[in-house]
Homo-oligomer: A and B are copies of this chain.
Amino acid sequence: MRNIKMVLEYDGSKYQGWQKLGNTENTIQEKIEKTIKMIINEDITLIGSGRTDAGVHAKGQVANFKTNSEIELNDFLYYLNVYLPKDIRVKDMREASERFHARYNVKKKYYVYYVYNDTFQSPFYRKYSYHVPEKLNVENMNEASKLLIGTHDFRAFTSVKSKKKSTIKTIESIKINNSTPIISIEYTADGFLYNMVRILTGTLIEIGNGTRDVNSINALFDSKNRADAGFTAPAHGLFLEKVIY
């Protein structure tokens, strides 16, 4: 059986996220699976590198699926982009080794969160950035971000309450770029917990607007209590940028 790896981009505005749900068709996984079925007349299961929440965007989501079809990949890519909705685009398709698994084999993920930091939101960025009207102190956010880097128990930074799975992750880097009025925060880690990037961002924004102390970060690793961390920054400012295997 062929194992096909694809890289894709999507504007998540109109979707209920990546992952297929029971009673709706409005997920990205489902749109792509149905379009593939239309093209090769085969039911396939698309495995994403991970879920993205409702409203989250992607510039480099990776997925794989197995198929018996012998369709030429260039044709496949072409038909997919013709039949998929315009807010989903397949950038690349190639053969992967039989053992490649888009979720299990992830080495590193990059997420970028965009904040539009000006009195009024721009018509062009309103769907792709979170509007914060009060001026943020980016220096303090930078300082705080350094405390987040490294291997920590990020339990306070996830909305999942199950205690079964490990909540220890390693953040390799957080790069904050202040290109007025847009502040971008790029997170690189070996993986992220559910809602983790959005809660990290909410926490950094609270530090930027002065409602939270830079040094409060360390206490969060000890408290392990979601309620002590910042708010969950909204989905529409978040992009899954890249996945490394």
Contact = CB atoms under 8 A, between A and B. Distances in A.
Given A81-B120, A91-B120, 15 more contacts: A9-B122, A9-B123, A9-B124, A10-B123, A11-B123, A11-B124, A57-B124, A81-B119, A86-B121, A86-B123, A86-B126, A87-B123, A87-B126, A89-B121, A89-B123
Interface in A2-30: 9-11
Contacts of A59: 124
23 contacts: A9-B122, A9-B123, A9-B124, A10-B123, A11-B123, A11-B124, A57-B124, A59-B124, A81-B119, A81-B120, A86-B121, A86-B123, A86-B126, A87-B123, A87-B126, A88-B123, A89-B120, A89-B121, A89-B122, A89-B123, A90-B120, A91-B120, A124-B128
Question: Which among A10, A81, A124, A126 has the greatest number of chain B C-beta atoms within 10 A?
Answer: A124
Interface of A: 9-11, 57, 59, 81, 86-91, 119-124, 126, 128
A198 to B, nearest CB: 20
Q: How many identical subunits does the complex contain?
A: 2
A122 B120 CA distance: 26
A229 B70 CA distance: 46
Contacts of A88: 123
A179 B124 CA distance: 19
Nearest to A91: B120
A91 B181 CA distance: 13
A228 B149 CA distance: 61
A38 B71 CA distance: 60
